[in-house]
Amino acid sequence: MLEMLSPFFHLLLFPGGLFALACGLLLKGVDRKVAARLQRRIGPPLHQPFVDLIKLWHKDSSVPETAQSRVFAWAPHVGVTGMALAALLIPIGGVYTPSGAYGDLLVLLYLLAVPAVALMIGGAASGSPFGAIGFSREMSMMLAYEGPLLLALLSVALKVGLATGGVATFSLAEIVRYQQAHGALLFDPVMWPAVVTFLFVIPANLGVVPFDIPEAESEILEGPLLEYSGKELGLFQIMSALKMVVVLGLGVTLFCPTAPGGLLLSLAWFIFKCLVLMVASVTVVRSATGRLRIDQAFSFYFKWPEALGVASLILVLTTRNFP
Amino acid sequence: MSSYTIPVGPLHVALEEPMYFRVEAQGEMVVGLDITAGHVHRGIEALAMTRNFYQNITLTERLCSLCSNSHPSTYCMALENLASIRIPERAEYLRVIADEIKRVASNLFNCAILGHIIGFDSLFKHVMETREIMQDVKETIYGNRMDLAANCIGGVKYDLDEERSKYLWQQMERMKKHLDEIYALYCKNSFVRLRTEGVGVLSKEDALRFAVVGPVARGSGIDYDVRQKSPYAAYDRLDFEVQTENGGDVLCRAKVRLREAQQAVRLIQQCVTDMPAGPTCIDTPPEIPAGEAIAKSEAPRGELIYYLRTDGSDIPERLKWRVPSYMNWDALKSMLVGDKISDIALIVNSIDPCISCTER
């Protein structure tokens, strides 16, 4: 009986669902506070993202007359569902290991594209020209960063797979187990190009400056989000909070999933690692840069992260230990 | 590829004031532009013809926030030209100080907004924090952060005692360091340069054709500054250089503004040292005869012209002004077409449009 309920528990409460949402909103709160401090502002309190979400939940939402209302209303639900499922797949070292029945790294890779697709559908269905521009920009960004992301994931899969006697392993549990036994990949120089590639992908994947181009507020008025209000907008915020946890949690899983032991301590350690990763790859980056144009961002991704990803793959393949 | 229309404005997060652009775009490229004005018409010119000369000083100060000193000072100059009043020398220096303080604050404001538009909010905060020094100066010397209420017919309404002169000098020394740092930032930071270099180019020929004024003209290599071509107040006795750049793009205009702010700080310091003692205003109320007069000055955005016609009463028969943005905004057509949609707000901001004084 309990075993039948456990997928629901994992999806709705822990580690997906409520826990992931609270975690994501907390991360966003810290991000805003640290960014404010870096700009010598006071900044909002840590719980501001929670308050914002509750406020949106109590507001009416309006649908523009020119929108395709059904698609418009469903797009954020698709995004949230995708991310909730993805949160289910993120292992927490020493606390939670996703069952292989839920999916593996490849499923996660596909799920990671869902938020961008949801934004694209929502923007296109909103009937606003800014939504349409956001659509095309989101599409270009996806083309730009999916390549390096895939290469970084593949490097880790190959590294772990080759070391354990197979070809490439896409099992998240296996990747965590390997690192717990042999030390985190973060400290292996062979994996450093993959780490850097993944760090490059984070800002674009999470849509923050300098790569918040599809939702550029001062250029196209937040593009796809422009026409959203009330609960639907709140759903997009939930989606982006969940995505924060998923992307950062994936980074932690791939490169440093080791845990100190003890349930609460391991959990706190996981959140701490996510925080450090976020401050380094989101907060500091967005405070120190300005937004790029779409063509500049596109050519940037096709130059540096792409090259690094390929280099990382070659490095992993050439340094494997021949039996 | 078929083109589509996007509305920019009249309320747009990146435009500080209401202005409506109907932009024809193909993909990410702007191919056509239609500018519609008239969203903040308040009938101030008509109002000016119902108020007396003194009330109009207060009225013209409220036309616009960022150049709020240029309007009353030019209006007073027109009145003084008409009545052949020679204002005391000390007042001339004090007018320069008020004008230049506003110029520094206005130029920094525009450059800060540039940072915000390119998504570089740390830069925005940094420049605004520096601008806050000027706001403090205004509040300390004039008692207000925006409207200085410095001018009156025949002179100025404030004076600088020893203590305030010293304070002003010290604050300007502080500004110098910050302004040098900010200028270096705009010249060197790769994110600023990636977004602004070669964007919104206005060639010198086009600049002459559209007769643009102020930093927009000087950014396109036109060496025109009212302060030098027809000096007013104390500018003929002060040492400053007109700043020009030849690129004609958004970055050049920002650089011109920042260098002008640096020059303005020097001008204020010169005024504080060179200012002679004496009265700050004529001591008898002036008689304004019937007639016509024109006065012009260099506002932060460019050449500002006031035209005044009187009939011998204490109410102007006609008061009209031509503001710099009126000359500059038509040139947007030349700057925007051929650029990217992502740069629209950036280019519009680069002419520093002041809609509230253009549409009054």
Min distance B342 CA to chain A CA atoms (Å):
5
For A297, nearest residue in chain B (alpha carbons): B194
Rounded-to-5 percentages of helix, strand, coil across chain A: 75, 0, 25
Residue A176 has pLDDT above 80, yes or no: yes
Token look-up 């009986």 returns A1
Q: What is the DSSP letter of B3?
A: -
Q: Is B39 exposed, middle or buried (0-12, 13-18, 19+ CB in 10 A)?
A: middle
Nearest neighbour of B120 by CB, restricted to A213, A289, A294 = A289
In a domain, A2, yes or no: no
Question: Are residues B280 and B156 in contact, defined by beta-carbon separation less than 8 angstroms?
Answer: yes
Q: Which of residues 184-243 of B touch A (CB under 8 A)?
A: 189, 191-192, 194-195
Half-sphere exposure of B44 (CA within 13 A, CB side): 21
**Chain B residues near residue A210 by CB distance under 8 angstroms:** 119, 191
- The Cα B85–Cα B71 span in angstroms is 19
What does the pLDDT read at residue A128?
Answer: 81
Full residue range of the structural domain in which residue A188 is found: 10-318
What does the pLDDT read at residue A133?
Answer: 82
The region of weakest confidence among A7-11, B82-86, B264-268 is A7-11
Is there a contact between B13 and A217 if contact means CB atoms under 8 Å apart? yes
DSSP, residue by residue, A139-199: HHHHHHHHHHHHHHHHHHHHHHHHHTTSS----HHHHHHHHHHH--GGG-GGGHHHHHHHH
- Cite the DSSP H helix spans in chain B: 44-48, 53-61, 70-82, 89-117, 121-142, 162-188, 190-196, 204-209, 214-219, 226-229, 250-274, 324-328, 332-336, 344-350, 355-359
Which tens digit of pLDDT belongs to each residue from A234-248? 999 999 999 999 999
Question: Are residues B174 and B133 in contact, defined by beta-carbon separation less than 8 angstroms?
Answer: yes
Is there a contact between B342 and A213 if contact means CB atoms under 8 Å apart? yes
Amino acid in the structure at residue B47: L
**Chain B residues near residue A294 by CB distance under 8 angstroms:** 28, 342
**Chain B residues near residue A292 by CB distance under 8 angstroms:** 191, 194-195
Residue A160 pLDDT grade (very low, low, confident, very high; cuts 50, 70, 90):
confident
Provide the mean pLDDT of chain B: 88
Which tens digit of pLDDT belongs to each residue from A261-274? 778 888 888 889 89
Q: Which domains does chain B have, with CATH numbers?
A: 41-327 (1.10.645.10)
- The Cα A201–Cα A303 span in angstroms is 13
For A220, nearest residue in chain B (alpha carbons): B342
Q: What percent of chain B shows pLDDT beyond 90?
A: 36
Residue B32 has pLDDT above 90, yes or no: no
Q: Which helix (H) or strand (E) holds B296?
A: strand B291-299
Q: What is the DSSP letter of B344?
A: H
- The Cα A201–Cα A151 span in angstroms is 11
Nearest Cα residue to B72 out of B326, B308, B354, B261: B308
In a domain, A126, yes or no: yes
Q: Please count the structural domains in chain A.
A: 1
Where is pLDDT greater, at A8 or B283? B283
Q: For residue B204, give every residue at least 6 positions away whose Cβ sits within 8 Å of its Cβ, in sequence order, or none.
A: B220, B221, B222, B246, B248
Q: Which two tokens stand for residue A191?
A: 């994996």
Nearest neighbour of B119 by CB, restricted to A133, A210, A296 = A210
Q: What is the mean pLDDT of residues A90-99?
A: 77
What does the pLDDT read at residue A323?
Answer: 44
**Chain A residues near residue B119 by CB distance under 8 angstroms:** 209-210, 212, 216-218, 289-291
Is there a contact between B122 and A38 if contact means CB atoms under 8 Å apart? yes
Q: What is the mean pLDDT of residues B260-264?
A: 92
The region of weakest confidence among A100-114, A276-290, B110-124, B188-202 is A100-114
In a domain, A323, yes or no: no
CA gyration radius, chain A:
20
In a domain, A81, yes or no: yes
Min distance A18 CA to chain B CA atoms (Å):
32
Residue A226 has pLDDT above 50, yes or no: yes
Query: What's the longest Cα–Cα distance across chain B?
Result: 70
Q: For residue B122, give every residue at least 6 positions away whose Cβ sits within 8 Å of its Cβ, in sequence order, or none.
A: A38, A39, A287, A288, B115
- The Cα B332–Cα A221 span in angstroms is 21
Q: What is the DSSP letter of B330?
A: G
Nearest neighbour of A292 by CB, restricted to B4, B194, B345 = B194
In a domain, A215, yes or no: yes
